[in-house]
Structure 1
Amino acid sequence: MTAELVRGQNHPLSQARLEIRVSADKPIVAGAALSDEHGKVHGAEWVAHPGTPTLPGLEVSRQAAADHRLAVDLGAMPEAVHRISVLLALPTGVAGPVRFGGLAAPFVAVTGLDGSEVASYTITGLEAESAVVALELYRRQGAWKVRAVGQGYAGGLAELLADQGMPEAHTLAGSINEAVVQGLARSVPAPPRTADGDRTRQTAAPAPGPDQGGTASQGAVPPQPPTSPYGAQGPGQPTSPYGAQGAQQGSTDPSGATQPSTPTAGGPVDYSHPSRQTTAPPPPPPIAPPAQPGQPQQPVAGDATGWSMDERLYNQVWGMFEDLARSMAAYRSAVDFAESRMEKELDQVLSDPRSRIGGQGDAAREAARAKHAQLVDQAQAVLDRDLAQLAAEADVVEPALPPAYARWDNPVWHGYRVPMEIPMALRLGDLHLPEAPQVSIPMLVRLPLERGLWIDSGRAGTIDGSYTDSHEVKRLAMDTAVAVAARLLAVYPAREFTVHVIDPAGSGGQALVPLVQSGVLAAPPAVGAAGVADVLARLTQRVDLVQMAVRGGAPDALPPGFDTAEQLLIVNDFPHGFDDRAVTQLRYLADEGPAVGVHLMMVADREEASGYGPLLDPLWRSLMRLTPVPDDHLADPWVGHAWTYEPSLVPAGSQVLQQVLQQVSAARTKYT
């Protein structure tokens, strides 16, 4: 039975391996401090945080998120550790709230690995505090207990760490915040959350795994669309609860809808559909035959909740992504536990002189290794089972994906027609983990884009440790940019998406041929310093005009003939052709543009641009980095795995890109 704790109350813990689950209204930093029997934290090596996420018997998330799962193995805790304090803090240096009083009360639960809840605590009464000790696990007479603490600190993480007796608390707090900023720059966008804090996912497995919680989602709150600067009620896109979308303008209300910086006259607009007043409908009944007893259910495409098949597939893809992350986290945790247990048993053998006589020592060592092998084999068997189920689900889901979610080699593109509505999301590539390359998950981001893209054209290493030729990487980077731009043009209705290109030296001419020849660009690629200045001036002016209209409460007061389409600017070979003014304008577009429909895609080598020094650091942090070759540079918002990203490129020799762009061009001409 779950113990619902109040501040100061404690509860015994009967399990050694636990998870601490944290749910918050907005992205927060989660960490843990280890202290001795006197409550003293002896140094930075006693604190687990995003920069140092793993300590003996403890692992925390590598980045800020609205949901966290901290893994704790009390049996692997060093003897000197008598207390584990769970720390929560609001990140600094990124957009977001500055005090807990402006958020819904954070919720913390201690659970077993099977998802069964042992104790929970809702941290109420916080006001000006920006950091809090949520709860603590502590030893008492040889047993472990959990206590609800809820001690807040208005001075933030530095004050909290100092109160824990941490030497150089301000230095450590600064390094934690820097790690969080870097983590946001490399994170994968996360899916929306349901009303009860769980994700819109209904797994096809007959029973939950040891790390999947054990309960099914009962329904989702329908996503609310962001306010359009033109007053249109486009398709929905709630803000990502994990902050992975980067810098945004305005604020986010509790429903997840992004609101403009200044409310329009007449109060906030209710964007909820009149027929969507309750929770989302249940998924359609499976069309596959029921599973035999003891066998997993056959996967079905679109078995998640949602209002349409596209929304159900979107939620199913993100459910697969989360399932794979959880399964791999459980496997790695089990292997780590097996290794730590074997090391502990071997240390005990070596520390006892009697075991060194005769064959006792050898027998003990063999027993420890055999137990280790047994535990690893058990973990591998569970992982293989989960991977087989996910692979079977991927085989069913991939062919059913709509064009916006599908690979370029998917037959769905052969029946492509220009859509009448904007889809929920867009596929930017694929993600997989090193232990499971056979299971590839589509990487989907919500539309409209809330964060620009940076296609890295610098010297790139491959997964096997070799390096790709620099000229080849630059070519692949432009191919990636063109493929993404073509996909954006294809999934928007006719004349609702406009693409501009800056190519100062003309080095991207070959890759840009499909866009140029099809006539889908707003104008020929801009070349030279004059072309750069002209395009940036026009887009900067556009951002200013729309911002003034929105802030003035008159989105219909834009000049006659104003192009209300979403705008994408592709910048190739940066910083060639850019002076200081142009760089400033580029930063302005990256920061202010997404909120008013102007998006940035940079094809650039970070090393070549380093000459600008720290001036460009905010720009790089505000963009999502993608690579033209497989690279493990993205992290998930749950357990911080390093995922290998593979770009979505058109197969060699395929004409699908040209055929799709021809249809887009024809539709644009028709509606001119």
Structure 2
Amino acid sequence: MTAELVRGQNHPLPQTRLEIRISAGNPIVAGATLGDERGTVHGAEWVAHPASPQLAGIEVPKQAAADHRLAVDLDAMPEHIHRVTVLLALPTGVGGPTRFGAMAAPSVAVTGLDGTEIAGYTITDLDSESAVAALELYRRQGAWKVRAIGQGYAGGLAAMLHDQGLEQGTDLAARINEAVARGVARSVAQPPPRPEGDGRVRTAAAGGGTDPAPAQPQQPQGAPQQPQTPPQQPQGTPAAGGPIDYQHPGRRTAAPPTPPPTAPPAAPGQPAQPVAGDASGWSMDERLYNQVWGMFEDLARTTAAYRSAVDFAESRMEQELDRVLSDPRTRVGPAADSARAEARAKQTDLVEQARIALDRDLAQLIAEAEVVESALPYAYARWDSPVWQAYQVPMEVPMALRLGDLHLPERADLRIPMLVRLPLERGLWIDAGRSGSFDGPADSGELRRLAADAAVAIAARMLAVYPAGEFAVRVIDPAGSAAGSFAPLVGSGVLAEPPAAGAQGVSAVLAALTQRVDLVQMAIRSGATDALPPDMDTAEQLLIVHDFPHGFDDRAVTQLRYLADEGPSVGVHLMMVADREDARAYGPVLDPLWRSLLRLTPVADDHLADPWVGHAWTYEPPTVPPGSRVLDQVVGEVGRAAQALRAARARQSYGS
């Protein structure tokens, strides 16, 4: 049962492997300090922060965000560590609120690895503070507890670190703010908040909570602050003396956005008819993206409200039955039977009312899903959508990409597209093994084949949504065991080079990509992107690693971790197709790698959690319909466009 803490209250921790989930509504910095018995922090190496996110037993996010998850393993804490204090701070120099009093109260929850909440704390009564010590985990008589602190600091992060005994707090605060400023440039914001009265489902959150107060409408990410903004250069093109831009192209416009389409007036007492693209946004692409996210949020919250109502009905019935059984005068006889019947009738009535509300909301969402699905562009559409039949290589990168579908058991036929922003901020891990609630095929060979097929389907979608020459795919398949799955990519000519095989091939590809990341990082830091080698391909790169760790030595593993950490910021992305059990020999060396990747499965599995109420969503990969040739047609078109571009560049080079 969840404990809702108030300032100063503590609660025992029943387990030692935890997640700390933070929600603030606006981007904040999250970190943690490790203290001795008195809570003193003895040096910068006792602080986990965005510039140094990993310490023994704890890992924090690398950048500012509205929602955070901190991984904690108390068993891995050194013996001299007795306190772990979770810190929140507002980033400086990147816009946004400068004090916590100007935003919604942040909330912190301690959960198990399965998402079960152990304790929660909402930090209220903050005003001029720009940093706050949220809560602490502390040892007491051989066991760990959590205590709500809520101590704010108007002096910001430096004042908070000094208060914990860190003499170099000012210097460390400056390092943290610098790291956050670099990270904000490539951070992906959540969809803009929707104003109240937008015609959508609005429900109570799980546990009887309510939606946060509606925020004022905001401009979408990339929108101009002033009109008449000059157009941005194409993605990946170095400006004269400027850096290479691997971020999503800005969607700037000289005029206000056209209003979204509105539904025709509904009959009295009837819900409004759904319309595709009725969310906020500066383009139909963005409006559809925000609408899909709104459907995802609505389904999460309306389901949470239903589950909360059912739990409440069950709890009230049990309490009433306990009262009947605890009184000897009503334990038996007609009065007891009547009391039991009345308690069960109340429970049934409450559940029926909750189900009616759920069915009403689900019917509205199903109608909206049908309208939206038929209007999605191919970047957001399923493989069986007719829009793919008219596919042409695009001229610009879309806002997002569909990686599959998500649904909840209350209505399995209501599927919400899983959209992720481009370029990818996190790498992907396609699970080729059995774990968790996974209920895939028993044959491990078949499971590995499905995992490779899923990787090819996702890679093909990524190739399809980038303009010609702006995205390249490399494949490492040390034993050649996925040759059949990779055949469409190989045959179409979309691969930068044939799949690398053997230890030598693994070493060559990783060395080339590592060198590319190093060179581009140095060029950007020094502002000398024009000094990059003329033959360097500055297109974004996706590296597919199949059957890891076969063919990998310690050096190759280190390079892989480096690419996962540093690659996304300079346009190098990682997709692992692997079974975690196969790499157990590396122990904790690979834990940061696995945690940094977004885990997907080749068959339906319940493991993805939403950022609002933490439901376990069933993920389904973007599989190609049996017998369909759509993937071959799409990658064939991409391959022809790439060959034409290479030929044009060759003629230009020859002519010069």
Whether the TM-score (by the shorter chain) exceeds 0.5 is yes
Tell whether 2:586 aligns with 1:612: yes
Tell whether 2:397 aligns with 1:422: yes
CA distance in 1, matches of 2:588, 2:150: 38
- The equivalent residue for 1:629 is 603
- The equivalent residue for 1:22 is none
CA distance in 1, matches of 2:442, 2:496: 33
SS, match of residue 412 in structure 2: strand
- The equivalent residue for 1:221 is 219
Deviation at 1:352, TM superposition (A): 2.0
Could you list the per-position Cα deviations for residues 417-463 of structure 1 after superposition, in whole angstroms to 9, with x for gaps in the alignment? Answer: 10000000001000001112011000000001111001010136877
Deviation at 1:363, TM superposition (A): 1.0
SS, match of residue 435 in structure 1: helix
CA distance in 1, matches of 2:332, 2:472: 80
- The equivalent residue for 2:179 is none
- The equivalent residue for 1:100 is 89
Tell whether 2:129 aligns with 1:126: yes
CA distance in 2, matches of 1:664, 1:527: 24
Structure 2 counterpart of 1:645, which letter?
Answer: Y
- Kindly report the root-mean-square deviation, in angstroms, between the aligned alpha carbons of the 2 structures: 3.8
Q: CA, structure 1 residues 339+654, in 2 after alignment: closer, same or farther (shift >3 Å)?
A: same
CA distance in 1, matches of 2:466, 2:441: 37
Could you list the per-position Cα deviations for residues 85-108 of structure 1 after superposition, in whole angstroms to 9, with x for gaps in the alignment? Answer: xxxx99953324655254643444
Could you list the per-position Cα deviations for residues 233-271 of structure 1 after superposition, in whole angstroms to 9, with x for gaps in the alignment? Answer: 5579xxxxxxxxxxxxxxxxxxxxxxxxxx979xxx999
Tell whether 2:5 aligns with 1:33: yes
Could you list the per-position Cα deviations for residues 602-656 of structure 1 after superposition, in whole angstroms to 9, with x for gaps in the alignment? Answer: 1000000111111111110111110001001110001110000000011111110
- The equivalent residue for 1:63 is 21
Contact 2:24-2:104 within 8 A present in 1 as well:
no
User: Residue 380 of structure 2 is aligned with which of 388, 405, 408?
Assistant: 405
Tell whether 2:440 aligns with 1:473: no
Could you list the per-position Cα deviations for residues 170-193 of structure 1 after superposition, in whole angstroms to 9, with x for gaps in the alignment? Answer: xxxxxxxxxxxxxxxxxxx98624
Contact 1:200-1:304 within 8 A present in 2 as well:
no
Deviation at 1:308, TM superposition (A): 1.2
Contact 2:194-2:217 within 8 A present in 1 as well:
no
Q: CA, structure 1 residues 507+400, in 2 after alignment: closer, same or farther (shift >3 Å)?
A: same
CA distance in 2, matches of 1:631, 1:648: 13
Contact 2:235-2:249 within 8 A present in 1 as well:
no
CA distance in 2, matches of 1:640, 1:511: 34
- The equivalent residue for 2:531 is 557
Could you list the per-position Cα deviations for residues 454-479 of structure 1 after superposition, in whole angstroms to 9, with x for gaps in the alignment? Answer: 1010136877x575321111000000
CA distance in 1, matches of 2:197, 2:544: 38
CA distance in 2, matches of 1:606, 1:570: 16
Deviation at 1:125, TM superposition (A): 3.3
- The equivalent residue for 1:455 is 430
Q: CA, structure 1 residues 330+670, in 2 after alignment: closer, same or farther (shift >3 Å)?
A: same
- The equivalent residue for 2:555 is 581
TM-score, scaled to structure 1: 0.70
Q: CA, structure 1 residues 218+396, in 2 after alignment: closer, same or farther (shift >3 Å)?
A: farther
Contact 1:300-1:397 within 8 A present in 2 as well:
yes
SS, match of residue 408 in structure 1: coil
Structure 2 counterpart of 1:394, which letter?
Answer: A
CA distance in 1, matches of 2:398, 2:106: 38
SS, match of residue 339 in structure 1: helix
Tell whether 2:277 aligns with 1:283: no
CA distance in 2, matches of 1:200, 1:511: 46
SS, match of residue 482 in structure 1: helix
- The equivalent residue for 2:310 is 335
Could you list the per-position Cα deviations for residues 485-536 of structure 1 after superposition, in whole angstroms to 9, with x for gaps in the alignment? Answer: 1111100000110000111000010000000000010001010111111101
Contact 2:223-2:251 within 8 A present in 1 as well:
no
Could you list the per-position Cα deviations for residues 268-314 of structure 1 after superposition, in whole angstroms to 9, with x for gaps in the alignment? Answer: x9997664687x5531233xx32110001111111111111111110
- The equivalent residue for 2:349 is 374
Q: CA, structure 1 residues 327+486, in 2 after alignment: closer, same or farther (shift >3 Å)?
A: same
CA distance in 2, matches of 1:356, 1:591: 64
User: Residue 431 of structure 1 is aligned with which of 406, 421, 445?
Assistant: 406
Any residues of structure 2 matched to 1:300-319 within 5 Å, and which?
Answer: 300-319=275-294
Could you list the per-position Cα deviations for residues 557-597 of structure 1 after superposition, in whole angstroms to 9, with x for gaps in the alignment? Answer: 21113211100100100000001100000000000000000
SS, match of residue 64 in structure 1: strand
Deviation at 1:362, TM superposition (A): 1.4
CA distance in 2, matches of 1:534, 1:562: 16
User: Residue 665 of structure 1 is aligned with which of 634, 639, 654?
Assistant: 639
CA distance in 2, matches of 1:102, 1:529: 44
Q: CA, structure 1 residues 335+586, in 2 after alignment: closer, same or farther (shift >3 Å)?
A: same
Deviation at 1:327, TM superposition (A): 0.3
CA distance in 2, matches of 1:494, 1:467: 37
Could you list the per-position Cα deviations for residues 340-364 of structure 1 after superposition, in whole angstroms to 9, with x for gaps in the alignment? Answer: 1111111121222221253211111
Structure 2 counterpart of 1:151, which letter?
Answer: Q
TM-score, scaled to structure 2: 0.71
Q: Which moved more, 1:207-216 or 1:420-429?
A: 207-216
Contact 2:563-2:572 within 8 A present in 1 as well:
yes
User: Residue 190 of structure 2 is aligned with which of 189, 192, 202?
Assistant: 192
Could you list the per-position Cα deviations for residues 51-103 of structure 1 after superposition, in whole angstroms to 9, with x for gaps in the alignment? Answer: 49xxxxxxxxx7334449xxxxxxxxxxxxxxxxxxxx999533246552546
Any residues of structure 2 matched to 1:521-532 within 5 Å, and which?
Answer: 521-532=495-506
Q: CA, structure 1 residues 31+66, in 2 after alignment: closer, same or farther (shift >3 Å)?
A: farther
Q: Which structure's relative contact order is higher, taking Cα pairs within 8 Å and 6+ residues apart? A: 1
Contact 2:134-2:149 within 8 A present in 1 as well:
no
Q: CA, structure 1 residues 606+366, in 2 after alignment: closer, same or farther (shift >3 Å)?
A: same
- The equivalent residue for 1:144 is none
Tell whether 2:44 aligns with 1:44: no
- The equivalent residue for 2:80 is none
User: Residue 334 of structure 2 is aligned with which of 359, 368, 388?
Assistant: 359
**How high is the sequence identity, in percent, across the aligned residues?**
60
Structure 1 counterpart of 2:5, which letter?
Answer: A
Structure 2: runs of 5 or more not aligned: 27-48, 51-57, 65-86, 108-121, 137-147, 165-186, 225-230, 647-656
User: Paired residues, what number?
Assistant: 518
CA distance in 2, matches of 1:411, 1:475: 27
CA distance in 1, matches of 2:262, 2:9: 56
Deviation at 1:339, TM superposition (A): 1.1
CA distance in 1, matches of 2:631, 2:548: 26
Contact 1:418-1:491 within 8 A present in 2 as well:
yes
Q: CA, structure 1 residues 603+202, in 2 after alignment: closer, same or farther (shift >3 Å)?
A: farther
Structure 2 counterpart of 1:470, which letter?
Answer: S
Deviation at 1:202, TM superposition (A): 7.6
CA distance in 2, matches of 1:396, 1:562: 44
CA distance in 2, matches of 1:339, 1:190: 40
CA distance in 2, matches of 1:132, 1:125: 19
Could you list the per-position Cα deviations for residues 142-194 of structure 1 after superposition, in whole angstroms to 9, with x for gaps in the alignment? Answer: xxxxxx995348999xx9xxx9xxxxxxxxxxxxxxxxxxxxxxxxx986243
CA distance in 1, matches of 2:125, 2:214: 22
Larger helix percent: 2
CA distance in 2, matches of 1:451, 1:110: 25
- The equivalent residue for 1:484 is 458
Contact 2:544-2:576 within 8 A present in 1 as well:
yes
- The equivalent residue for 1:502 is 476
Contact 2:188-2:425 within 8 A present in 1 as well:
no
Contact 2:493-2:639 within 8 A present in 1 as well:
yes
CA distance in 2, matches of 1:553, 1:497: 23
CA distance in 1, matches of 2:331, 2:6: 35
Q: CA, structure 1 residues 108+222, in 2 after alignment: closer, same or farther (shift >3 Å)?
A: closer
